[in-house]
């Protein structure tokens, strides 16, 4: 009998917060069992040749939307399959009641087990969920969700407050299917998260925020639509400008400074937004606030996408400018931004159409997580590989109570990893992403540094462009 189940031989192993080492990595029982200069191939039942390649901890794609526009079970299968392409081995998906997803409201005690049952046995990666309490009754369920289901992160959408953009209505209740969804609701939510945090001092209970200020959005959207109503991504940016992010960040962090709530400020899209986070940290130093940006806000700009035509790049918050791209890269490198996620939401091209405001927001990107960070971050901008691993894996694992299992290749951690060929250049196509989505706003972009092998729980699940075996992802309790 072999000593190890799997041996990753001859690669450059990247350890977040430490650096790079030339080492062999051995796996036993789904865990990293050894790191050594030379482990004989005869000691392992299976060997992955990583000579000349980089071995990174599997990415924790902490911003995902399983089932937002499609059947939840189908999405779990096809979109976590796409995650393997980008080196992601754990996804944390948002879920809420109201329009989209299951198109219903009610108690999470009834609804969340349905969600878990739909995903079970369908996911290629390990997975967890952030839940959004849309009603006062759902806020009261937070202690139950922590204790019974290990959910440790929750969400509030600031731009739903009082304005249903899809219906161009001043009343969002038909969309949220809930109570008054305003700053009062946010305050009650913060109080509850903080109270449960105090009862669970060993965890980081947190509230994730989509920061766009809805009353200002109403003004700017009305202005854009009255000025000829252009059907472009630039118009979408102008209708939801960075000022709306900046003001919402100010509102949320001010409330958190009073309640003491741990915050995750999601998908920062602009220089103004990330500067607002830096200001809030200086102003409210006692508040634990962590910052996220996305691949598309790092790399895409509305003028370039508009020149290609179409609305495939519509997303919330909007795609900004090249100057915003560079500001976000700088802040990802210097530590102001804690992690990078995909905000993956499978949305078919037919659902975009040719009319800006009815077009559904969102698109997939999980297949590009490590390729973008390696190509655009490491090779082009000199971001170290250890920092890349922190942005993709270690920092989201720490924020969401996965550290010790996920986020590193240290002995004892889950054997979740990806082997990247640093010289492999490929052009992004929808087909190569292995998603159910039929388009990509990154289509035609050349990236260098693609995963050639992805391992989940010690099992090779992706090799040389194809999935291997069957989906074996497990639910990750985080409390």
Tens of pLDDT along 383-437? 999 999 999 999 999 999 999 999 999 999 999 999 999 999 999 999 999 999 9
Q: What average pLDDT does the chain have?
A: 96
Residue 294 is predicted with a pLDDT of 99
Residue 171 is predicted with a pLDDT of 54
Which pLDDT band, with edges at 50, 70 and 90, does 50 fall under? very high
Helices 108-119 and 72-85, interaxial angle, to 10°? 50
Residue 173 is predicted with a pLDDT of 63
Residue 77 is predicted with a pLDDT of 98
Q: Where are the alpha helices (DSSP H) in 346-407?
A: 369-372, 380-381, 385-389, 395-399
Residue 166 has pLDDT above 90, yes or no: no
Nearest to 455 by CA among 182, 197, 89: 89
Residue 180 is predicted with a pLDDT of 82
Helices 142-149 and 108-119, interaxial angle, to 10°? 30
239 burial type by CB count under 10 A (0-12 exposed, 13-18 middle, 19+ buried): buried
Which pLDDT band, with edges at 50, 70 and 90, does 342 fall under? very high
CA distance 323 to 308: 19
| 160 neighbors 176 (Cβ within 8 angstroms) | yes
The SS3 call for residue 19 is: strand
For residue 93, list its beta bridge partners. Answer: 64, 129
Please list, in sequence order, all residues whose beta carbon lies within 8 angstroms of the beta carbon of residue 258, skipping any fewer than 6 positions away.
none
Residue 12 has pLDDT above 60, yes or no: yes
pLDDT tens profile 191-214? 999 999 999 999 999 999 999 999
The pLDDT of 459-479, averaged and rounded, is 97
CATH 2.30.40.10 in the chain, residues? 4-54+416-427+449-466
Residue 51 is predicted with a pLDDT of 98
- Give counts: helices (H), strands (E), the chain: 17, 17
For residue 62, list its beta bridge partners. Answer: none
CA distance 26 to 328: 36
Q: Name the CATH superfamily, with its identifier, for domain 4-54+416-427+449-466.
A: Urease, subunit C, domain 1 (2.30.40.10)
pLDDT tens profile 86-131? 999 999 999 999 988 999 999 999 999 999 999 999 999 999 999 9
Question: Bigger pLDDT: 48 or 168?
Answer: 48
Which pLDDT band, with edges at 50, 70 and 90, does 162 fall under? low
Residue 312 is predicted with a pLDDT of 97
Residue 175 is predicted with a pLDDT of 67
Distance from chain centroid for Cα 330: 19
| 129 neighbors 92 (Cβ within 8 angstroms) | yes
Residue 276 has pLDDT above 70, yes or no: yes
Give one word for 17, left, alpha or beta, with left for phi > 0 and alpha for psi -120 to 50: left
CATH 3.20.20.140 in the chain, residues? 58-399
CA distance 369 to 61: 8
The pLDDT of 76-81, averaged and rounded, is 98
Residue 196 is predicted with a pLDDT of 98
Is pTM beyond 0.75 here? yes
The pLDDT of 369-386, averaged and rounded, is 98
Residue 303 is predicted with a pLDDT of 98
User: What is the DSSP code string of 153-211?
Assistant: EEEEEGGGTT-BTTTTBS--HHHH-SS--SHHHHHHHHHHHHHHHHH-TTS--EEEEE-
Residue with tokens 């800006």: 356
The pLDDT of 19-46, averaged and rounded, is 98
Residue 161 is predicted with a pLDDT of 75
The pLDDT of 33-37, averaged and rounded, is 98
Q: Name the CATH superfamily, with its identifier, for domain 58-399.
A: Metal-dependent hydrolases (3.20.20.140)
Residue 163 has pLDDT above 60, yes or no: no
Which pLDDT band, with edges at 50, 70 and 90, does 179 fall under? confident
Helices 271-283 and 322-334, interaxial angle, to 10°? 40
Percent of the chain residues topping a pLDDT of 70: 97
Residue 323 has pLDDT above 60, yes or no: yes
The pLDDT of 249-274, averaged and rounded, is 98
């Amino acid at each position: 009998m072999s000593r190890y189940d799997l041996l990753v031989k001859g690669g450059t192993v990247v350890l977040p917060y430490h650096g790079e080492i030339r080492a062999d990595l051995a796996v036993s029982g789904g865990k990293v069992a050894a790191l050594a200069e030379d482990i004989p191939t005869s000691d392992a039942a299976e060997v992955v040749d990583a000579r000349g390649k980089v071995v990174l901890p599997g990415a924790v794609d902490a911003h995902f939307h399983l089932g937002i526009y499609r059947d939840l079970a189908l999405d779990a299968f096809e979109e976590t399959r796409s995650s393997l392409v980008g080196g992601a081995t754990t996804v944390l998906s948002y879920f809420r009641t109201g329009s989209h997803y299951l198109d219903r409201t009610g108690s999470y005690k009834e609804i969340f087990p349905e969600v878990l049952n739909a995903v079970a046995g369908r996911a290629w990666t390990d997975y967890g969920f952030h839940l959004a309490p849309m009603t006062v009754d759902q806020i009261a369920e937070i202690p139950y969700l922590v204790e019974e289901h290990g959910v440790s992160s929750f969400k509030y959408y600031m731009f739903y407050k009082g304005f249903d953009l899809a219906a161009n209505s001043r009343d969002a209740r038909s969309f949220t299917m809930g109570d008054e969804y305003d700053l009062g609701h946010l305050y009650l939510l913060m109080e509850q998260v903080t109270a449960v945090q105090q009862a669970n001092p060993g965890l980081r209970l947190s509230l994730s925020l989509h920061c766009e200020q809805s009353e200002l959005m109403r003004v700017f959207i009305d202005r854009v639509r009255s000025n000829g109503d252009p059907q472009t991504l630039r118009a979408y940016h102008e209708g939801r400008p960075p000022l709306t992010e900046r003001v919402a960040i100010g509102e949320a962090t001010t409330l958190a400074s009073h309640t003491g709530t741990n915050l995750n400020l999601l998908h920062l899209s602009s220089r103004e937004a990330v500067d607002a986070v830096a200001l809030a940290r200086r102003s409210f130093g006692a508040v634990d606030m962590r910052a996220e940006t996305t691949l598309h806000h790092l790399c895409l700009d509305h003028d370039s996408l508009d020149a290609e035509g179409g609305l495939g790049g519509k997303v919330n918050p909007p795609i900004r400018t090249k100057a915003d791209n560079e500001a976000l890269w700088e802040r990802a490198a210097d530590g102001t931004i804690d992690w990078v996620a995909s905000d993956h939401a499978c949305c078919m091209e037919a659902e975009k159409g040719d009319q800006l405001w009815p077009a559904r927001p969102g698109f997939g990107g999980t297949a590009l997580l490590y390729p973008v960070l390696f190509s655009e971050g490491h090779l082009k901008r000199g971001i170290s590989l250890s920092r890349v691993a922190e942005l993709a894996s270690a920092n989201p694992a720490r924020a969401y109570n996965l550290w010790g299992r996920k986020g590193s290749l240290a002995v004892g951690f889950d054997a979740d990893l990806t082997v990247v060929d640093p010289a492999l250049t490929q052009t992004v196509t929808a087909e190569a992403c292995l998603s159910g989505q039929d388009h990509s706003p990154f289509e035609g972009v050349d990236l260098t540094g693609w995963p050639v092998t992805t391992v989940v729980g010690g099992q090779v699940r992706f090799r040389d462009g194809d999935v291997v075996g069957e989906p074996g992802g497990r639910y990750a309790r985080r409390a």
